[in-house]
Structure 1
Amino acid sequence: MRLLPSSFLLLAFFSSASRAGVDFAKDIQPFFAEYCLECHGTDKTKGGLALTSRAAALKTLESGSAGIVPGKPEASEVVSRLLTDHADNKMPPLKKEKRPSVQEVENVKRWVAEGAQWASHWAYTPIRKPAGSAESGSTGIDFLVQSRLTSLGIRPSPEAGKNTLLKRVYYDLLGLPPSPEEAALYLQDNSQDAYSRMVNRALASPHFGERWGRHWLDQARFADSDGFEKDSPRPDAWRYRDWVINAINADMPLDQFTVEQLAGDLLDTPTPEQILATAFHRQTLTNREGGVDQEQYRIEAVFDRTETTGSVWLAHTVGCARCHSHKYDQISQKEYYELFSFFNNADESTSKVGTSKADLEAYAQKNAAHAALLGDRRQKALQTRAPLFDRLREWETEMQSRLKTLAGEKAKPFVLKPHALSSAQKAELTDLADGSVRVSGKINPTDTYVLEFKLPAGTVSGFVLQALPDESLPDHGPGRGTNGNFVLSGFSVEVLENGVPTECVLHSPKASFVQTGFPAEATLDKNPQTGWAIKGGTGKEQTLAFQLVRPLPENAPRTVRIRLEHDYAKSPNHLLGHFRISALVGETVESLLTPELRRLIDTGSEKWTNEQRETAVDWLVLFDPAADAARQALAVAEGAGPRPPLMEVRVLSQKQTNRDTRILHRGEFLSPKDSVSPGTPAVLPVIHPRKAGSPDRLDLARWLVQPDNPLPSRVLANQIWMRLFGEGLVRSAGDFGVRGDAPTHPELLDLCARLLLEKGWSRKDLIRTIMNSATYRQASSARLDLADRDPLNRLLARQNRLRVEGEIVRDLHLAAAGQLSKKIGGPSVYPPMPPEIASLSYAGNFRWADSTGEDRYRRGMYTFFKRTAPYPDLITFDCPDANVANIRRTVSNTPIQALTTLNAQAFSEAAQALGKKISTAFGHEEGADTLRLQLLFETCLLRLPENNECETLIKLLHSARKNFEIQQAAAQKAGGTPEIAAWTAVARIVLNTDEFITRD
């Protein structure tokens, strides 16, 4: 909080000493906020005096006297204490360095004498229609501004020139210079509506969402990392940034924009994008340090969500009420925790969303093509299996005969010794003398073992996997999990003939022990999220036997490859640690048919149901070449479908049962006091829950944008005005409380707020209205006649000159050089950065790998932002640290900024690219150097050079040429040839002007 509200200075400066009465809102409330409320406010009421409302101020004091007696300043203790010279009674106390002026004290005395009328704080009053002749829209803006100027005898500034307006609009709306074609379209258009059409074209550009999205991301405290000590990357953070860009480009109404970000998950049947929007409140910092109290940092995140909401939508420092009632504004500590309760009942969760709209559209096309392919292959599979129904009786007879023949036969296990073995994750597989394999070394969350064997003589009808205990394993194994368990998600066999694999179909897996929920059959379902496990049976040998659908006869190829897959990610490190594989030699009843098919044969085909007939045909398909080929082709197609372009993002979700929210004594999470329910400050309109019981986040979001809530529409309108003038109508854009600034033009603020409401909360409509006003279009030149009267341009007698933000500084350089990628959205990128910066990260846990190709030249807003080691060029130009919501960036002017644009790698490369482009223009035309210089100025500054500029830079060009002709090595380093190097030197000068990075 500032010590002195600038609103008071403004009003003291412009107020007339001869006015009829004292204005409470302008003269008294700021006085109380500055000198009194710290001890006589909501939190403290020393002596029984509270200056928070008229009713409180008129109460009898603890001493028995009256603090304020309307109409009687001589009987009012407040006035007496202000006027007395007695050191013990003087107010404010003499120890306070800041003292009120004689005029300020006189104002209080006069106010009491006039009846001590107490007006509501301006921010809480209903939004009013403009008085008098003020019209709506751009003309209304101009009427209100010019009426104020006229009353003070001040004339507005003339309209800026066309080149200046072109640059202003493009810098404000897109953060990019216009292309030569866009510039020509406007500059050559002399029609009356040329300007408004140019504004509309810029508003329709997809780069508008980037420019204005970056403003919003400041408020959302967006970053690509967690913060705190470890500051781990957040690889999914960019998807919320894309949501913001898309929403702003689509001109999503600001009420909807609000609701979806605060409570999109609570809407009826929310879309994935609406759930994604709640990532606004997942931009909070995350502490992953060892030993932290998770509840403490959960509450810290809820504090942040509460205070960010208060800052962004209410423009109030609600955080001042976290530990005690607000000393100045009408927010009690109880009300703070009622707001806190809305977010205390939200949980941090994740949700799957499409990577982008374009990706989803491409997926839909691929999926349609794949569906057609599946349809064709299903039809082929049905056609080839249809004749097999006629062979069921013949097959039944054959099976009856063979079952009799094989009755009593037993297969003989033959231990297989691997001649090749490997681990996909580089674990060590050692074959032992007994044919078993022991796994050691690196333990990975998942792994696949691949082994090759020579088969014994005879018909091989199946395989047996023995999971063997081992003293070297946890709990004697046989798994490498901490409890000796494993999860085998897949077991497959391939026959190799001349190195070409053919998969063998397995059936009837049978295990010696099965953990509940992890059956043996799961090894054959090709689902990595299932598998066979043996919890409860560890520490001893367990077996799993498989039968071959088509046994391998004596004359079959004798080399097989077996894969043991451990892909069950829910139980990482659950891998087999010691095992042996045997072949089953000799056919048996078990290998001939599955148990289900044997039961069918026993039943007799005349009693089979249609479903049982289908089961029998499924088996016959495996022995019919045409039908089996069609089956395999269908299986391949089913497994080769396009994967949905989905990614997991961090979002909020509502807790099923509400937490018991309590007031925290001094904000300490270990000191809970009284319970509270969700609620809103009493000074604002009542919240209306949509159903019985306590309101939730959706009710809060809708309360913020309900028409009778005067704050959010004023706050959001003020933010939009601020982006177009550099300052808001309320200068303290993040503080509309009594310690903040009063609006310089209250009626104008309300006009803009009403325009938002009446135009359906359209951001673009309000921007268009403001930009079409004569007030916005004024020249920004400083005026001597206002140097003393209005040095800060609070009366809006001219436009403001604004240095663009750090991201835009870089964007402008890349755009001028022709390097800038126009790609919109997508993951964050890593433009060149000194390696020493990334090494500042905790324990060297982060590596900055410079992006290549187009990503090297993306817009600055896409640069990966690491909270503890941010991109230096951005910080140099005042980019916020993303630890808290930033409503308005500070603007500094330092030598290091000029040195950065002159020497940093990105800017040097841009100057070289621009120099090369300029040097090759106009060929050998007469006066080519002058023409090139004009092109350089038009490219960078959207104007032609003045005569003195042209003369100076041509001299520099000639001098540089001579120097680089002599110093060829320097020329090579600076651009290639002496000519390119010379123009690079000139380009660096123009790019490094204040004008280039300033919006006039």
Structure 2
Amino acid sequence: MFTKCQQPLGLVFAAIFVACVPVRAASAADVNFEQTAANVFLRRCLECHQSADPNGELDLTRKDRALAGGASGKVIVPGDAESSELIARVVVGEMPPEKNGKPQHLPAAEIQMLRDWINAGAPWPEGRVLDAYERTTDVRAGRDWWSLQPVKRPEVPTGFGAQPVDAFVRQKLQQHGLSPAPPADKRALLRRLYMDLIGLPPTAEEMDAFAANDSPEAYERQVDRLLSLPQFGERWARHWLDVARFAETNGYERDAEKPFAWKYRDWVTNACNSDMPFDRFVLEQLAGDELPDRTESTVIATGFIRLGTWDDEPNDASEYQYERLEDMVHASTTAILGLTVKCARCHDHKFDPITQADYYRVAAAFWPGPVASRDRKFLGGPTKEELGFDVLGWTDLTKQPKPLHALKKGDVHRPLQEVSAGPLSGIPELDREFLPPPADAKTTQRRLQLAQWMSDSRNPLTPRVIVNRLWEHHFGAGLVRTPDNFGFNGQPPTHPELLDWLAGELVDGGWRLKRLHKLMVMSETYRQSSLNPRQPEFELKDSGNHFWWHAERRRLDAESLRDAILATSGQLDLKVGGPSFHAPISEEALEGLSMKSGAYQASPPEETRRRSLYLYSKRGLIVPFMTTFDMCDNAVPTGRRDVTTVAPQALALLNNSWVHEQSLQFAKRVCAQGLDTNARIDAAWRFALLRSPTDNEREVARGHLEAQRKNLPDKNSELLSWVSLCHVLLNTNEFIYVD
């Protein structure tokens, strides 16, 4: 930058232009450094020109360094803006440099700020050091960014009802001229509650009983019962497995199995069911092997670290070691902190107050040391002997690994300074260096200290992120609608006070999540209808429903849809835990495997009727039906799945061989209800849609059966006509969507 051997012709014209601009007299007394130079440097320049590795050797963070200039000499001539190369460069638009192919011209007002400052003698307060992250600007977040501030539990608004969730939501609705929808129909509400809490529909009998129960406590009793069922843990484990990038194979060409990965899945399920405090949930996954009360279960929890993709034959083992390290940093900080820390591997974060040193401080907690022949296996994880248990887990091979160095532009062959393990510096109140391990320790204890920092009750990110994840899955979107990014490029919370109240409630309640689940689903906001009488008017004010003036109508996710089909056909096996099953996959889908012979074998049919949570997760071969309905990418943390409505989904439900098999089983279940056609039709509606058919629906169903009997071969035409009707019901919007 600013090299004299590359003076562009534009500078000549810039010099003429600058010389022609009238100079306004200014003195140090009437030029404020913070409002002029500091303002521009912080917003426009320090991304490249700060102390760590300044471009062109020009450091604009300190007075002496700024006035000394860079590799091409001085760029600031105090008292003479016209002779200052800094002004010449910004006038022609060469600085700041292009970004994404677009010029970044400084506004004329900012150029004038720099002129005034230089002409006044470039005053710079003694000892003032600029820091790109000292405060939030319009181009990046500073350490004063909202998500990094301490959680301050606000007072619940008064005059909006006693339930805290409703009080905060209704206050915001009032402020925006909106009002909530009326309560949902009891049948719609119970199905919503079941699908949210356990991921399965109620039976028709359960639905009828609830609809007929007028007790004020009826709904709360349903909530308490569902929270106590083992299926609750299965449902909510799946949400965490998304952010943990859970899979049971390594990926890459061989896509070899990760032995005992299913034990981690079962650990998460049990943690949800037992209402394990979330701070302990974090501790066990990052450092279960380092805890004083270490058990096989806590070591299973460290499988979280090993769940990422793993290349057992990398081109460069030393370079790949840093790829694995990046996965560990990315998974842990995204899932728990909701920040894109991995973006700082090669340079300071462009948008958030995360330095490159921060990235390597966190990475050092997972650092096994430089690659040697013994370490090549360790990159994929320690052995049974090194762990002490036959599990997929993690532990350190030494308590004193060799130092970790930051890398210039992330290049393993360009090491920079040594970095000590520690947390992110963006929360100054919790900044610390990690202590060396005790004399009798077998590990570094760095992961334990990182986990303790993340789960510290004063850490503002961890409780905000997890309560936002709960809100997202209950209400259809988070209070922060970018659940994995609480930084500058994420969306701000729609209800910041409610988010902090919930975060404070979590911590004050011992980090127990079931209390928060109940609080949310007991709210009138959750229990309102998906239709608001003033829908057209309110759509104009808040088309995205950011203020929750109606409940969100949601399509069943891939697992819930598959499980609901099994429940309707009467085939669902509710066995909990244990090794996964392999679903049948068509030969066409298997064509892509590099080793077709024996590469994938379906489990016996009776095992494939289990819940979708137990479906074997092979990275190179996700079951096509699940992919069609937006099963998440299991290579990276996924806090919010894509939700699409596309033609292949309708085609899959109409033509998929597994769906047809379930329609057959559904029809057999219906036909077992007796010979009366009306009774069978009623049973079909109740099994699938949890209600009786209307008179019109019954008439249409009879007509469909008659038409199918005529069109189908005489043999089995009676059963096949019912299969056709049952297949239609499984394809209805009423079955696929939850109101």
Q: What range is the shorter-chain TM-score in?
A: 0.7 to 0.9
Q: Deviations over 1:89-134 (max 9, x none)?
A: 898979976999x9x99xx9xxxxxxx9988100011111224636
Q: Deviations over 1:501-522 (max 9, x none)?
A: xxxxxxxxxxxxxxxxxxxxxx
| 2:464 is equivalent to residue 718 of structure 1 | no
Aligned to 1:324: 347
Aligned to 2:229: 205
Aligned 8 A contact 2:334 2:485 in 1:
yes
Distance of 1:771 and 1:807 partners within structure 2: 21
Distance of 1:748 and 1:49 partners within structure 2: 45
Q: Deviations over 1:582-641 (max 9, x none)?
A: xxxxxxxxxxxxxxxxxxxxxxxxxxxxxxxxxxxxxxxxxxxxxxxxxxxxxxxxxxxx
Aligned 8 A contact 2:161 2:167 in 1:
no
Aligned 8 A contact 1:231 1:842 in 2:
no
Distance of 1:35 and 1:230 partners within structure 2: 47
Q: How much does 1:42 deviate?
A: 9.8
Residues 236-315 of structure 1: pairs in structure 2 closer than 5 A: 236-289=260-313, 292-315=315-338
Give the alignment's Cα RMSD to 1 decimal: 3.9
Aligned to 1:918: 670
Distance of 1:705 and 1:187 partners within structure 2: 42
Aligned 8 A contact 1:43 1:327 in 2:
no
Q: How much does 1:342 deviate?
A: 0.1
Q: Deviations over 1:254-300 (max 9, x none)?
A: 111110010000011411111111011111222123x7443433332
Distance of 2:41 and 2:569 partners within structure 1: 55
Q: How much does 1:40 deviate?
A: 7.9
Distance of 1:998 and 1:145 partners within structure 2: 25
Distance of 1:330 and 1:714 partners within structure 2: 18
1:812 to 550, 554, 564: 564
Aligned to 1:686: 431
Q: How much does 1:886 deviate?
A: 1.4
Name the larger-Rg structure: 1
| 2:523 is equivalent to residue 760 of structure 1 | no
Q: Deviations over 1:731-788 (max 9, x none)?
A: 1111111111111110011111112101111121111110101111111126212222
Q: How much does 1:812 deviate?
A: 0.9
Q: Deviations over 1:790-832 (max 9, x none)?
A: 1111111111112222122111111110001111111111222
Q: How much does 1:47 deviate?
A: 11
Aligned to 1:823: 575
Aligned to 1:748: 498
Distance of 1:851 and 1:902 partners within structure 2: 24
2:728 to 950, 974, 989: 989
Distance of 2:339 and 2:218 partners within structure 1: 41
Aligned to 1:150: 174
| 2:477 is equivalent to residue 727 of structure 1 | yes
1:943 to 691, 697, 702: 691
Distance of 2:574 and 2:359 partners within structure 1: 44
Distance of 1:141 and 1:191 partners within structure 2: 23
AA of the residue aligned to 1:933: I
Aligned to 1:349: 382
SS in 1 for 2:541: coil
Aligned to 1:955: 703
Distance of 1:711 and 1:254 partners within structure 2: 13
| Aligned CA distance change for structure 1 residues 905 and 292 (closer, same or farther; 3 Å) | same
Bigger RCO (CA 8 Å, 6+ sep):
1
Residues 351-750 of structure 1: pairs in structure 2 closer than 5 A: 351=384, 648-656=390-398, 657-684=400-427, 685-687=430-432, 696-750=446-500
Aligned 8 A contact 2:251 2:309 in 1:
yes
| Aligned CA distance change for structure 1 residues 48 and 810 (closer, same or farther; 3 Å) | same
AA of the residue aligned to 1:665: K
AA of the residue aligned to 1:230: R
Q: Aligned pair count? A: 641
| 2:255 is equivalent to residue 222 of structure 1 | no
Aligned to 2:213: 189
AA of the residue aligned to 1:128: K
Aligned to 2:528: 778
Q: Deviations over 1:128-161 (max 9, x none)?
A: 1224636999811111110011112211111111
Distance of 1:898 and 1:38 partners within structure 2: 49
| Aligned CA distance change for structure 1 residues 240 and 867 (closer, same or farther; 3 Å) | same
Aligned 8 A contact 2:157 2:171 in 1:
no
List gaps (5 residues or longer) in structure 1: 1-30, 67-77, 109-115, 355-645, 970-976
Q: How much does 1:909 deviate?
A: 0.9
How high is the sequence identity, in percent, across the aligned residues? Answer: 35
Q: How much does 1:174 deviate?
A: 1.1
1:334 to 346, 349, 357: 357
Q: How much does 1:659 deviate?
A: 2.9
Q: How much does 1:937 deviate?
A: 2.4
Q: How much does 1:36 deviate?
A: 8.7
Distance of 2:505 and 2:215 partners within structure 1: 27
Distance of 1:789 and 1:909 partners within structure 2: 46
Q: TM-score, normalised by structure 1?
A: 0.59
2:201 to 166, 172, 177: 177
Distance of 1:911 and 1:836 partners within structure 2: 23
Distance of 1:151 and 1:248 partners within structure 2: 37
| Aligned CA distance change for structure 1 residues 191 and 870 (closer, same or farther; 3 Å) | same
Aligned 8 A contact 1:726 1:800 in 2:
yes
| 2:590 is equivalent to residue 838 of structure 1 | yes
SS in 2 for 1:651: coil
| Aligned CA distance change for structure 1 residues 41 and 149 (closer, same or farther; 3 Å) | farther
Q: Deviations over 1:298-351 (max 9, x none)?
A: 332221001111111111111110111111111111111110000114952144
Distance of 2:396 and 2:194 partners within structure 1: 41
Aligned to 1:968: 714
Q: When you count strand as a share of all residues, which structure comes out higher?
A: 1
Q: How much does 1:177 deviate?
A: 0.7
Distance of 2:160 and 2:457 partners within structure 1: 18
| Aligned CA distance change for structure 1 residues 46 and 789 (closer, same or farther; 3 Å) | farther
List gaps (5 residues or longer) in structure 2: 1-39, 70-74, 79-85, 114-134, 370-377, 439-443
Q: How much does 1:955 deviate?
A: 2.0
| Aligned CA distance change for structure 1 residues 923 and 353 (closer, same or farther; 3 Å) | farther
| Aligned CA distance change for structure 1 residues 131 and 957 (closer, same or farther; 3 Å) | same
Distance of 2:226 and 2:649 partners within structure 1: 29
1:887 to 636, 639, 646: 639
SS in 2 for 1:847: coil
AA of the residue aligned to 2:455: V
Q: Deviations over 1:915-971 (max 9, x none)?
A: 1222332533xxx42x4333322322233334544443332122112323xx135xx
Aligned to 2:72: none
Q: How much does 1:228 deviate?
A: 0.9
| Aligned CA distance change for structure 1 residues 664 and 947 (closer, same or farther; 3 Å) | farther
SS in 1 for 2:417: strand
Aligned 8 A contact 2:494 2:547 in 1:
yes
| Aligned CA distance change for structure 1 residues 673 and 44 (closer, same or farther; 3 Å) | closer
